[in-house]
Structure 1
Amino acid sequence: MKRIALFHLETLMWIERLGTFAAAAQRLHTTQPAISARVREIEEQLGLALFQREGRRMVLTARARRLIQACEPLCHELEQALLDASDFAGASGTVRIGSGEIAAASCLPGWVQAIERERPGVTMEIELDLTARLMQDLLAGRRDIVFLAGPVASPGIQTAPIGTVALVWAANPALAARGGLTADLPIWSLPDHSPLHAVTHETLDAAGITRPRLHTCNNVRMLIEIVASGRGAAVLPETMVREDLARGRLAECHPRPGRALAFEAAVRARERDPVILDLFARAADLRIESAPRSL
């Protein structure tokens, strides 16, 4: 029997973890035809079929699953041993990171700086998105680590809490002085799949305030600019408006919501890549700085 390279086994393991050749190709930074070629090479060398067709899907055979279960811990231990021997000095590869806008502004810069300094061989690809899509991308293998608003409950995801962000009702100081939310001023929010949207409605309902409509914007920084320019009020993350409040560009116009936003770092529950797990352990040590309550 010819030798089977580690990259052959790695290919099988990622197909099994992510479910499709396309997802494995994306994770391994190659093409779907290249993945198919690797699978054919293994099948030819072993003399057995690794996949069988079920309807329109290709699924692993029982023998292929047993092969992966036997090889996965061995491959993981080998890679871990090599990295431990070099104290992770040789850690390399591309790690795809997803983050919500608030988490990115609150804690990501310091973490990225530490990774650049201590893991210079690691390339980071960072993309900002909404929590729901970050979850989908993580489970599908399109992202390796994500930072999102929690709490997250999924059997396929392992999470670590990284702190909370206080929320404030803010408006242009001139509008805030007119009576806050009791004045007839426009209300802005992130779209309805954001936790900020839910907090906005909770506050208005609790205060008995009705508005015929709620304006929305899907970008927090643009939302801050809209509010600061005097076009209404919004619930905003304190960490992102702290400077504006201190400078008097914004003013709190209503008591702060009782609910803060909790944030978590997350990886797939079955993640075995030692570099990704190392970065996740560092992410778990992050702490978003909470602000004292006021108003």
Structure 2
Amino acid sequence: MKRIALFHLETLMWIDRLGTFAAAAQRLNTTQPAISARVREIEEQLGLSLFQREGRRMVLTTRGRRLIQQCEPLCHDLEKALLEASDFAGAAGAVRIGSGEIAAASCLPAWVQAIERERPGVTMEIELDLTARLMQQLLGGTRDIVFLAGPIASPAIRTAPIGSVALVWAASPEVARAGPETPDLPIWSLPDHSPLHRVTLATLEAAGRSRPTLHTCNNVRMLIEIVAQGRGAAVLPETMIRSQLARGELAEFLPRPEHVVHFEAAIRAQERDPIILDLFARAASLRIEPGTEGQCPESART
């Protein structure tokens, strides 16, 4: 009879987190048959069933859940002790990162550069998405760390503020000179679950243009291109258009909104993986600098 090894317990924890053997296999860089074999080995060793199928998901039995609850802190504490003993020199693994486009353009590059330099064994898998989907991915276990528009209030999520970005009503110089009373002027925004969408509606109402029809696009850089080509106006992040405003390629169209967009780094509240916690601690030191696009203070880069 084979002994239970740490990789058996790690396998159980990832199946529990991701819900399927296939997802756990992908996360652990192995095959689904290998995952099934590990589960059979530990079930044979213990003499009990750890999982039961519910639809497409594999769900822990009561005894399996208790095993994970008792073993997971021990596994992570052991891994943390080994990593700290080597000053994280042996830190390795894939960390799945999600970010909103504005946060990615404002501060993420410096953070990624620091991780590449100081944690060379850690592989980062980065995807850009909107805040609502980033939240779902984090809670669903398909993202480990996310950078999103806040504030976020959820007992299942632990957050750290990383700064805020001012917003600007912008248009091409020609559209700006014609003014906001231009008939049938197209107004563009991110989709309705974005903070920019809410700010757009609020400032238009304050300007007396209630219930406007908005065109939407889920990509901020595409919005900037649309506006720069004279095809409408939009509320845009100041950090992402500062250089175009300075060159005269864009112009301010309406008074700047009083609202700013706050950004946060977030992980699951119950996260215990020491590598993810280490990267989150580094993310918590980030500060979006309103004065320089794409830069962070020196403390975030060292």
Say if 2:65 is the partner of 1:65. Answer: yes
List, as ranges, runs of 4+ consecutive aligned residues in structure 1 with deviation greater than 6 Å: none
RMSD (CA atoms): 2.0
Give, in angstroms, the shift of residue 160 of structure 1: 1.0
Distance 1:212 1:259 in 2: 19
Distance 1:35 1:136 in 2: 25
Bigger shift: residues 15-24 or 84-93: 15-24
Written as runs of structure 1 = structure 2, the 5 A alignment for 1:153-192 is: 153-179=153-179, 181-184=180-183, 185-192=185-192
Secondary structure (helix, strand or coil) at the match of 1:182 reads: coil
Secondary structure (helix, strand or coil) at the match of 1:166 reads: strand
In structure 1, the residue matched to 2:133 is 133
Written as runs of structure 1 = structure 2, the 5 A alignment for 1:100-115 is: 100-115=100-115
Written as runs of structure 1 = structure 2, the 5 A alignment for 1:195-210 is: 195-210=195-210
**Structure 2 length-normalised TM:** 0.90
Cα displacement string for residues 8-27 of structure 1 (whole angstroms, at most 9, x for unaligned residues): 01111223334443443343
Distance 1:159 1:31 in 2: 33
Cα displacement string for residues 148-171 of structure 1 (whole angstroms, at most 9, x for unaligned residues): 111222222211111111100011
User: For residues 56 and 282 of structure 1, do their structure 2 counterparts lie closer, same or farther at Cα, with a shift above 3 Å needed?
Assistant: closer
User: For residues 265 and 125 of structure 1, do their structure 2 counterparts lie closer, same or farther at Cα, with a shift above 3 Å needed?
Assistant: same
In structure 2, the residue matched to 1:33 is 33
In structure 1, the residue matched to 2:272 is 272
User: For residues 55 and 104 of structure 1, do their structure 2 counterparts lie closer, same or farther at Cα, with a shift above 3 Å needed?
Assistant: closer
Aligned length: 291
In structure 1, the residue matched to 2:282 is 282
Give the AA of the match of 2:61.
Answer: T
Bigger shift: residues 200-209 or 212-221: 212-221
Distance 1:54 1:252 in 2: 55
In structure 2, the residue matched to 1:220 is 220
Cα displacement string for residues 40-83 of structure 1 (whole angstroms, at most 9, x for unaligned residues): 11001122221245677543233222222222222111111111
In structure 2, the residue matched to 1:91 is 91
Distance 1:244 1:56 in 2: 50
Cα displacement string for residues 65-111 of structure 1 (whole angstroms, at most 9, x for unaligned residues): 22222222221111111111110111111111111111110111110
Give, in angstroms, the shift of residue 29 of structure 1: 3.0
Give, in angstroms, the shift of residue 112 of structure 1: 0.5
Bigger shift: residues 14-23 or 252-261: 14-23
In structure 2, the residue matched to 1:146 is 146
Bigger shift: residues 104-113 or 185-194: 185-194
Give the AA of the match of 1:107.
Answer: C
Distance 1:54 1:96 in 2: 26
Distance 1:97 1:167 in 2: 25
Bigger shift: residues 3-12 or 205-214: 205-214
Secondary structure (helix, strand or coil) at the match of 1:177 reads: helix
Residue pair 1:186, 1:214 contacting (<8 A) in 2 also:
yes
Give the AA of the match of 1:80.
Answer: K
In structure 2, the residue matched to 1:118 is 118
